[in-house]
Amino acid sequence: MFQTLLGALGAFVGLSVVGAAGRKYYDNNLTDIEMARYIGSCLQLLGISSVVVFILIFILRENLSIWLGLSESWVLWAVGLSAFTVVVNLRLGQWQVRGNARNYGAIQVSKSILDMMLSLLFVTVLLLGADGRISAQILATGLFAILALWLLKRDKLLSVLVWNKAHYKEIVKFGVPLIPHVGGAFLLISVDRFVINAELGLADAGVYMVAAQLAMGVALIFDAVNKAYVPWLFKKLKENDLQQKKKIIRYTYLWYLVITAGAIAGFFIGPLVVNLVAGSGYEQAGEVIGWLLLGQAFNGMYLMVTNYIFYSRRTGLLSAATITSGLINLLLLVLLIKLLGLSGAAISFTIAMGVRFLLTWWVAQKRHPMPWFDFLDKNSSQL
């Protein structure tokens, strides 16, 4: 439930400044000094949004504590952890756009190791239970947030003592329309566990989450590929060359074929993996993992088209697409779980993810047109 709260706070704390700073890197004639000032503006807005959210959470802390089953102190600390995470991701994001995978990986892996070691210490040695896990996460991320600020300053990518109204306006215009996007993502990714628990019981919810967690392994691959792909894609889009755009589309369709083949194979291989990892007691998880893998395949396709929306900086319709898909998922969950049980939940997820992919593809074409249907024509001139 603490992780769920973090997910809900993600859009409000920081207003998606990481994405805004990453996109800013590709502006024409951008100097290092201007980039440092822009990141400073991002941190200022992070501070302002964190204070505003903290005040609201403080006012609602008693109700949130009861609803989430968390102590009031952890409800408040969730705001701080969200802010720490944004700071770390700002540093990581600037390495990503510059193609510096070594430093990115070093910080990401080091943070994960510290988080794991502190969790083991607090949970298994000091026997602090869930409080220990949350404490470890806050401590590890807080320390790395301090390191991230130092690294940004060292690389001359941070100038905090600035006041730039144009920067604030640009960042807010990018981030605020994405706030509903998080709500839609929650309806797509997290609401199923609550509906299954209410309709079928906690045991079935546990079985379903085993399959969902295993399917998330595929999502990690898609996320890693996308992180490496985005800097290359944005550089090519900046060149605005039609032949390069057609090549991008050909590569994208080839990647879709690979994803689709993997999803089909998942219906046959997935149950074997569930049995190997979780044991024979989770046969029901094996029955739904194929559908969940197909849903994740649509997620991989979605990532390939949503990048064009972020490049355009016009993100409002993306939120509309995500919310629509999330509401479809919720409606189908209520209907299909009663008819098909756990399989109904998995099918609902797959359909909703497919709808999100198609809607986002349409939005991407509206925001940054690409030659999706004439990509084989190699004789057109430059745009």
Q: Three-state secondary structure along the chain?
A: CHHHHHHHHCCCCCCCHHHHHHHHCCCCCCCHHHHHHHHHHHHHHHHHHHHHHHHHHHHCHHHHHHHHCCCHHHHHHHHHHHHHHHHHHHHHHHHHHCCCHHHHHHHHHHHHHHHHHHHHHHHHHCCCHHHHHHHHHHHHHHHHHHHHHHHHHHCCCCCCCCCCHHHHHHHHHHHHHHHHHHHHHHHHHCHHHHHHHHHCCHHHHHHHHHHHHHHHHHHHHHHHHHHHHHHHHHHHHHHCCHHHHHHHHHHHHHHHHHHHHHHHHHHHHHHHHHHHHHCHHHHHHHHHHHHHHHHHHHHHHHHHHHHHHHHHCCCHHHHHHHHHHHHHHHHHHHHHHHHHCHHHHHHHHHHHHHHHHHHHHHHHHHHCCCCCCCCCCCCCCCC
Residue 373 forms part of a structural domain: no
Domain boundary among 140, 163, 186: 163
The answer to whether residues 171 and 41 touch, using CB atoms and an 8 Å cutoff, is yes
Distance CA 300, CA 252 (A): 11
Question: Containing domain of residue 84, as a range?
Answer: 2-163
Domain boundary among 103, 135, 163: 163
Residue 151 forms part of a structural domain: yes
Confidence at residue 10, expressed as pLDDT on a 0 to 100 scale? 78
The answer to whether residues 82 and 13 touch, using CB atoms and an 8 Å cutoff, is yes
Are 291 and 330 found together in one domain? Answer: yes
Confidence at residue 378, expressed as pLDDT on a 0 to 100 scale? 55
Are 188 and 241 found together in one domain? Answer: yes
For helices 283-312 and 242-278, angle between their N-to-C axes, nearest 10 degrees: 160
Residue 39 forms part of a structural domain: yes
> pTM to 2 decimals?
0.79
Residue 381 forms part of a structural domain: no
Are 242 and 317 found together in one domain? Answer: yes
Distance CA 340, CA 118 (A): 42
The C-alpha angle 374, 375, 376, rounded to 5 degrees, equals 95
Residue 186 forms part of a structural domain: yes
Residue 169 forms part of a structural domain: no
Are 217 and 357 found together in one domain? Answer: yes
Mean pLDDT by 10 residues, the chain (383 residues): 79 85 85 92 94 95 85 93 95 91 92 94 90 94 96 92 89 84 76 78 80 88 90 90 92 95 92 84 84 95 94 87 92 91 92 96 94 72 43
Are 268 and 349 found together in one domain? Answer: yes
The answer to whether residues 183 and 323 touch, using CB atoms and an 8 Å cutoff, is yes
Are 158 and 182 found together in one domain? Answer: no
Distance CA 148, CA 18 (A): 13
Are 142 and 190 found together in one domain? Answer: no
Q: Which two tokens stand for residue 21?
A: 């700073």
Confidence at residue 191, expressed as pLDDT on a 0 to 100 scale? 76
Give the phi and the psi of residue 100 in degrees, each rounded to 5. -90, 75
Handedness of CA 280, 285, 286, 289 (dihedral sign): negative
Are 188 and 298 found together in one domain? Answer: yes
Are 127 and 215 found together in one domain? Answer: no
Q: Classify residue 373 by burial, with Cβ atoms within 10 Å: 0-12, 13-18, 19+.
A: exposed
Task: Report the number of distinct structural domains present in the chain.
Answer: 2
Residue located via tokens 């008693």: 62
Distance CA 372, CA 305 (A): 11
Confidence at residue 182, expressed as pLDDT on a 0 to 100 scale? 73
Confidence at residue 28, expressed as pLDDT on a 0 to 100 scale? 79
Are 192 and 157 found together in one domain? Answer: no
Residue 372 forms part of a structural domain: no
Give the phi and the psi of residue 162 in degrees, each rounded to 5. -130, 160
Residue 380 forms part of a structural domain: no
Are 206 and 118 found together in one domain? Answer: no
| Residue 1 burial (CB count, 10 A) | 12
Confidence at residue 175, expressed as pLDDT on a 0 to 100 scale? 82
Domain boundary among 163, 190, 224: 163
What does R_g of the chain's alpha carbons equal in angstroms?
A: 22
Are 229 and 357 found together in one domain? Answer: yes
The answer to whether residues 57 and 64 touch, using CB atoms and an 8 Å cutoff, is yes
